[in-house]
Amino acid sequence: MSDNENNVSKLPAMAMEDIPVARADAKRIVALVREKGRVSGYKLSDGNIVSKEDGVRLAKDGGIRGVGVAKRKGSEYLKSVPDGSENNNLGSLPSVTQ
């Protein structure tokens, strides 16, 4: 792999402010909670639903695996950590209403 290809593959991870280390008991996000088309929270693998803000705090504390924290317009949100699989990207997950 060339240096240029290697750098391009690192871009999604570089866009994140933090990629927390998940604890052994960390949950996975299994669905996105949407309100008026916008993500307002996350449904976790244990069935709990958390707000977007609580999800960010939980991820920073190592409670959610496979995600990093990014920031846009002053607001933090979660993004999938690139792993080469499209199936587990947050954008590929089903949506639920709270």
For the chain, how many structural domains are there in total? Answer: 1
Q: State which residues form the domain around 80.
A: 3-96
pLDDT of res. 79:
93
In this structure, is the dihedral angle defined by the CA atoms of residues 56, 74, 11 and 37, taken in order, positive or negative? positive
Is residue 79 a contact partner of residue 70, using CB atoms and an 8 Å limit?
yes
Which distant-in-sequence residues (6+ apart) come within 8 Å of 84 by Cβ? none
| Predicted confidence (pLDDT) per residue in 60-84, tens digit | 999 999 999 999 898 999 999 887 7
pLDDT mean over 9-23: 74
In whole angstroms, what is the distance from residue 27 CA to residue 84 CA? 20
Does residue 85 or residue 22 have the better pLDDT? 22
- Residue (of 75, 74, 78) closest to 19 by Cα position: 78
Per-residue pLDDT at 7 exceeds 60:
no
pTM score: 0.81
